[in-house]
Amino acid sequence: MTTTDGITCGASYGTLNGKVALVTGGSRGIGAATALRLAQEGADVAVTYVNSKEAADDVVRAVEALGRRAIALRADSADAEEAAGAVERTASMLGGRLDVLVNNVGVGLLGPLESLSLADVDRVLAVNVRGVFLASQAAAGRMGSGGRIITVGTCMTQRVPGPGGALYAMSKSALIGLTKALARELGARGITANIVHPGPIDTDMNPADGAYAAGQAAMTAVGRFGTVGEVAGMVA
């Protein structure tokens, strides 16, 4: 049994034996849970981080405890070269292949419309849209039949429960069009593209006991926050 940051994994299921996966923003929250779940399924896993090296190293150790190879790569998805370069580094360090890309990294900048600066707009679009596109483009160049590109979106692409979400919702909505286009373009090669839209999830960025949690939970069908493990299971 392997545990990191409240995420527990048991024995490998083996459905991804021999596969290599990259999870962007995989040092914590949904990304960390997804990395561990893919390892549990048998994949070797790379995770990217920007500031959370210690947390990323914890994920690496947890993956290795499951008997899989793992690496942590510092890569800022706002940097065009680093966004695509993480794919190339993963492939070169884990056997020359990439089978699964999980575009998990994202900037969740919320605030009144008039408070958002041009720098805010540029940063969010660079990470949430351009970085995802460039990583997906690089991954498609590495993948063969059976490749998987999975992007983490948000329920706010369809339902915005209150003010303050214009920039975030716009950036994540762009990923719907990208995913549909990727699926159409890559399907003939046996590569699928899908997007997962979580509702409120219990993470350190949006804790289930936070100041705005009760209202979010009340709007869900089950009356509670989701867990990172539930999202990771959907991705897997």
For residue 100, give both structure tokens: 């699964």
The tens digit of pLDDT for each residue in 21-67 reads 999 999 999 999 999 999 999 999 999 999 999 999 999 999 999 99
Please give the pLDDT value at position 5.
47
Predicted model pTM: 0.91
Q: So where are the chain's domains?
A: 14-235
Q: What is the 3-state secondary structure (H, E, C) of 156-208?
A: HHCCCCCCCCHHHHHHHHHHHHHHHHHHHHHHHHCCEEEEECCCCECCCCCCC
Structure tokens, 191: 């590569």
| Alpha-carbon gap, residue 34 to 28, rounded angstroms | 9
122: left (phi over 0), alpha (psi -120 to 50) or beta: alpha
Identity of the residue numbered 208: A
Q: What is the per-residue pLDDT across 95-106, written as a single tens digit (0 to 9) for each?
A: 999 999 999 999
From 13, 49, 168, 212, active-site residue: 168
Answer yes or no: 168 catalytic. yes
- 14-235: which CATH topology? Rossmann fold (3.40.50)
Is pLDDT at 9 greater than 70 in this prediction? Answer: no
Q: Per 3-state DSSP, what percentage of the chain is helix, strand, and coil (rounded to 5)? A: 45, 15, 40
Q: In this predicted model, what pLDDT tens digit does every residue of 165-213 receive, in sequence order?
A: 899 999 999 999 999 999 999 999 999 999 999 987 778 777 788 887 7
